[in-house]
Amino acid sequence: MRMIKHTVKSALKISANISPEFCAKAHYYIKFKKKLNLSNPTNFNEKIQWLKFNEFNNEIYTQCADKFKVREYIISKGCGEILNELYGVYDNPQDIDYAALPERFALKCNHGAGYNIICSDKSSLNVDKTNRQLSKWLSEDFSSHFIEPQYRKIERKILCEKFIENERGGFPDDYKFYCFNGKPYAVMVCVGREKGTPKFYYFDMNWNPLPFEDTVKLINKYDLPEMPDGFVKMKQYAMKLATDFKFVRADFYLLNGEVIFGELTFTPSAGLDVSLQEADAILGGQLRL
């Protein structure tokens, strides 16, 4: 079974450059056991797939998917104060002067998702292993994994940013605003990440829980997170950053009331999010193509 899955994955990766639409349809069918309707998409995942083939040839998507060049976009929208401190930008790992870096920092590649190395103690960092991992990531065409063309033309870089943590010494809570036609509609809140058991809640813009299955289950089991002091500020930033897009998810961290920009995401879970369920229909209804 493992070999079959590996063979299918390899075949799809090869077909990504030959027939991206076929590949997207195959991924969708494997994930949801139903055909992808690109001619008349209705739910959120389908509409994200539609956007891949009808919107992402615009250079603004390449810029804003690029974790380095998006900084220029944030500044152009008058939001430069929310950018995390940048220590350095490198073309390859050998350019990194680790001795000049602070004791704690974050390394990331700019051309995809999940390419992150969080260093909380430089003295224990295995530099050779870190450089090998960064080189491997730089060699990958992230856009071909699940057909996300906004990443294809990004000039690959390594970024080094300031290490951020909350007052408890853990990862700060993050807030992901789902914005449709320039307006934030829902926010996904992730709490408890530092405990290794993150919980994800969905709220509307008045901090009312949305009737998504995962959120309802959490409400029945745990106390509801309170609206944070910086929520209104984050909502205002999300609105400023969403004006140019039919859909974008604007991600922020909140640290002692201070808003820190995370990223702009155009294809959450590559348009293959099986956890959405009820949300798939509700969010799909918000996205007007």
Question: Where do the structural domains in the chain lie, given as residue ranges?
Answer: 60-162, 174-265
The pLDDT score that the predictor gives to residue 56 is 94
The pLDDT score that the predictor gives to residue 171 is 78
Gap between the Cα atoms of 79 and 73, Å rounded? 9
The total of other beta-carbon atoms located within 10 Å of residue 236's CB is 13
Segments of the chain with pLDDT less than 50? 1-8, 11
pLDDT in tens, 8-17: 455 455 556 6
CA angle 237, 203, 262 (to 5 degrees): 40
The pLDDT score that the predictor gives to residue 8 is 46
The pLDDT score that the predictor gives to residue 200 is 84
pLDDT in tens, 264-282: 999 999 999 988 778 999 9
Instruction: Check: CB of residue 91 under 8 Å from CB of residue 111.
Output: no
Beta strands 247-255 and 258-265, pairing class: antiparallel
pLDDT in tens, 123-168: 999 999 999 999 999 999 999 999 999 999 999 999 999 999 877 6
The pLDDT score that the predictor gives to residue 222 is 72
Q: Kindly report the pTM of this predicted structure.
A: 0.92
The pLDDT score that the predictor gives to residue 256 is 82
Instruction: Check: CB of residue 74 under 8 Å from CB of residue 83.
Output: yes
Instruction: Check: CB of residue 65 under 8 Å from CB of residue 242.
Output: no
Longest Cα pair distance anywhere in the chain, in angstroms? 55
Indicate the DSSP class of residue 209: B
The pLDDT score that the predictor gives to residue 233 is 97
Using N-to-C axis directions, what is the helix angle for 278-286 and 44-54, rounded to 10°? 50
The CATH code belonging to domain 174-265 is 3.30.470
Gap between the Cα atoms of 228 and 166, Å rounded? 14
The pLDDT score that the predictor gives to residue 277 is 79
Q: Which residues pair with 107 in a beta bridge?
A: 117, 160
The pLDDT score that the predictor gives to residue 6 is 45
Token pair listed for 175: 């807030």
Instruction: Check: CB of residue 27 under 8 Å from CB of residue 147.
Output: yes
Using N-to-C axis directions, what is the helix angle for 2-18 and 20-32, rounded to 10°? 150
> CA torsion sign, 66 to 72 to 75 to 80?
positive
The pLDDT score that the predictor gives to residue 196 is 65
